[in-house]
Amino acid sequence: MKLSASILALSLMSGVAMADGHGDAIAEGKKLAFDRGKGNCLACHMIDDGQMAGNQGPPLMMMKQRFPNIEDLRAQIADPTVRNPRTSMPPFGKHGILTEDELDKVVQYIYSL
């Protein structure tokens, strides 16, 4: 199976985060996800320790069960219009709202929920 560069990077970041015990990639992803000027996930989604969460999108929980393949979660965040052209979720990757690195970190964080 051929892994994309971003998925390989996610795998490496996950290993590094677990190895150093700090979870830096996940912490940075959480910061981006909660940032009203970047990921802004809380505008539409309830997240366990988020404040002023929206209710337009589904709660972000049990993500490994909902997206057993992390590539599918990344694709959904990068461009949700592929699966649902009428979605109100912005295509964070396609529109450059998040850089590739930022997108990888947000995916790491969301996948940890």
**DSSP character at residue 109:** H
Q: How confident is the model at residue 18 (pLDDT cuts 50, 70, 90)?
A: very low
Residue in the structure block whose two tokens are 């985060």: 17
Cα–Cα distance, 105 to 13 (Å, whole number): 9
**pLDDT (tens digit per residue) in 59-107:** 999 999 999 999 999 999 999 999 999 999 999 999 999 999 999 999 9
CB 6 within 8 A of CB 74: yes
Radius of gyration from C-alpha coordinates of the chain:
13
Map out the domains of the chain as residue ranges.
Answer: 5-112
Average pLDDT over residues 40-67: 91
Cα–Cα distance, 1 to 82 (Å, whole number): 22
Predicted local confidence at residue 53, as pLDDT: 85
pLDDT of 20 over the 50 cut: no
Domain 5-112 has CATH 1.10.760.10: yes
| pTM for the predicted model, two decimal places | 0.77
